Amino acid sequence: MKNRNILLCVSGGIAVYKASALTSKLVQAGANVKVIMTESAREFVSPLTFQALSRNEVYTDTFNEQNPKVISHIDAADWADLIIVAPATANIIGKLANGIADDMLTTTVLAAEAPVWVAPAMNVHMYDHPAVKRNISVLYQDGVRFIEPSEGYLACGYVGKGRLEEPELIVERVREHFKEPEDDAPLKGKHIVITAGPTREAVDPVRFFTNKSTGKMGYAAAEAAVRLGARVTLISGPVSIEPPVGLYQFLPVQSAADMREAVLSVFDSCDMVIKTAAVADFTPAAVSDHKMKKKDGSLVIEFNRTADILKELGERKTHQLLVGFAAETQDVERYARRKLEQKNLDMIVANDVKAEGAGFGTDTNVVTFYFRDGRKRELALMSKLDVSFEMLKEMTALKAGDRKPV
């Protein structure tokens, strides 16, 4: 974290006192910290406190331009390597989600190209309100990452989820974000694309077809790849879990068509692809502009085949190592090997989703690796993170030529 530029954006809530502690700990860790405070935040703690702790002037007013050579909110946005909004009130989350820029904090965040992390802090019922959930979802889809609040006693007297995460834990996440891979990291310099989660195929504005994928396997693979030094692009369908810290790129998608577009946009520049996503095989032939009303009798919906993304990648690949997944319920090896050949994969990870500990939504998996040279390797029940490390170990060997890919 030494000499990293962190812009801390403080909005108005009782948790502002924690933001002052966070400022101190970030500075002690070697970061350069600048602080923006909203008018409401200044009702709880004086800007002088943050100025003393950060050793930098505190931004409080969009129109207070101290340096005529720069525009303050643009200069602050360009300066930052990372922006943290902490505490983030329901009000500030709503403004950011809707593109409202009416003070120094919101104008700066909207002008920024650096990663933005938001750390909510509010009453448990406010955090659970549909409007707040909706705004968080919008920001998440826009690429903003969230530091989940913890549970405990709140200033309002309630006990529940809504406490700003402890400064020490936020600092650790920042440290992980900026951590450079070791020189001997096995995947240092490799760009890995990982797809995860389900897709949603719309029927009308309120209904869609999807599947049971939770994204846990793909997110575990992304975490393992980051730990091994890779630059990881994670392309994810709608899930309810947080992406791992340290991603090179996060691309949220909805439909199979969105997934294909995202994958093809990064395929030529990557070294390896891991396709864990459960992409829909079919999509409704027509999507209604209005909610379909209930009526007597049966309903028939016509479907069209979606593009076979994995097969297309197999046909296009040049230098890339391509790994697929096969979630089966019977004849696992036969179907896995057939998919391996038909999709021109270098390796496939297969499992029986009916097996105990191996289905959708579990934290564990029981898989078998199948290779183009006829080999297979069966793994015992283990966490999806451990499965990912074993998979990446095999992929590294294939890429190095210890086991020649096709």
Q: Is 128 annotated as a binding residue?
A: no
Q: Is 179 annotated as a binding residue?
A: no
Q: Is 325 annotated as a binding residue?
A: yes
User: Quick one: 335 exposed, middle or buried, by C-beta within 10 A (0-12, 13-18, 19+)?
Assistant: middle
Is 270 annotated in the active site? no
Q: How many CA atoms lie within 13 A of 383 on its CB side?
A: 8
> Amino acid identity of 147?
I
State how far the alpha carbon of 315 is from the alpha carbons of 274, 327, 377, in Å: 16, 22, 26
Measured CA angle at 375 (ends 372, 377), to 5 deg: 120
> From CA 357, how far away is CA 367, in angstroms rounded?
11
Cis peptide preceding 244, ω within 30 of 0: no
φ/ψ region of 181 (left if φ > 0, alpha if ψ in -120 to 50, else beta) reads beta
| E strand spans, 142-257 | 145-146, 150-153, 159-163, 191-196, 201-204, 207-209, 231-236, 249-252
Helix, strand, or coil here: 17? helix
236 token code pair: 């994810």
Task: Tell me which long-range contacts 378-383 makes (C-beta under 8 A, separation of at least 24).
Answer: 381/357, 383/220
Please identify which of the residues 70, 156, 159, 400 carries the catalytic annotation. Answer: 156
> From CA 152, how far away is CA 271, in angstroms rounded?
44
Helix, strand, or coil here: 202? strand
88 membership: H or E segment, kind and range? strand 82-88
Q: Is 291 annotated as a binding residue?
A: yes
> From CA 187, how far away is CA 229, in angstroms rounded?
5
> From CA 105, how far away is CA 115, in angstroms rounded?
15
Biggest alpha carbon–alpha carbon distance for the chain: 72
**Tokens 């310099």 identify what position?**
189
Q: Is 282 annotated as a binding residue?
A: no
> From CA 89, how far away is CA 87, in angstroms rounded?
6
Residues of each annotated binding site? 281, 291, 325, 339, 343
Residues of each annotated binding site for CTP? 281, 291, 325, 339, 343
> Which residues are identified as catalytic?
156
